[in-house]
Amino acid sequence: MQYKWVLFDADETLFHFDAFQGLQLMFSRFDVDFSRQDFAHYQKVNQPLWVDYQDGKLTAQELQNIRFTEWAQKLTVSTQELNSSFLSAMADICQLLPGAQELIDSLTGRVNMGIITNGFTELQSVRLQKVGLVDRFSPLVISEEVGIAKPDVGIFNHALSLMGNPDKSSVLMVGDNPHSDILGGINAGIHTCWLNSNGAEKPHDINPHYQVSTLCELREILSCKQSA
């Protein structure tokens, strides 16, 4: 089956997302030496918030504000200022994952490519512009703008609508998160590919159409599919 559309997650699928490095850079701009211990404490707050966000229990703005409440009080700045500074720092350090550029180049002109991300608006376009890929992806579907986060089928249906409602069997969703990306894609009725870079155990109730450990491996699969 030849795919006409390939949809990508962003963080840890196309882009390396080193939150600790980004926070270190951000806090250095506030004259704070942000340590691994600080990061561990931050993650205790941050990670459950992301679960609630994906489950529809929190808005994007609530997540962004709550995760920086403690630091905002320490530094006597607003949570919004810290969140914007963090996203700016993440844009400054952004890098494509190994094999991403080659994969994108190999698909350009052969299939349509889009992005569905639970990341935040303030980071997405800036990051794509920085790596010279802003014109390669359409649609760029951002949960913060849609008001629905993966794995909710609604965000996938929104993307499919923007794509002109193609045959679902011609659409492949690629992502690193088996729950938000893969289960969400499966529930939306499209094909899925799990980028399992760390060799994690597959959840027993989630069955992607493909599983790869690198984007180079995915490029080989899609090359065969497109030439079949």
**Residues designated as active site:** 9
Task: Give the integer Cα–Cα distance in Å for 65 and 79.
Answer: 5
Q: How is residue 87 written in tokens?
A: 């996203």
CA distances from residue 84 to 23, 58, 68, 73, 90 in whole angstroms, order as listed: 11, 19, 11, 16, 10
Task: Give the integer Cα–Cα distance in Å for 142 and 30.
Answer: 29
Q: How is residue 102 written in tokens?
A: 């080659």
Task: Give the integer Cα–Cα distance in Å for 214 and 44.
Answer: 29
Give the CA radius of gyration of the chain.
18
Q: How is residue 105 written in tokens?
A: 């180049």
Q: How is residue 159 written in tokens?
A: 């993307």
Task: Give the integer Cα–Cα distance in Å for 70 and 67.
Answer: 8
- One-letter amino acid at 39 equals F
Q: Which residues contact 218 (CB under 8 A, 6 or more apart)?
A: 99, 103, 174, 193, 195, 210, 212
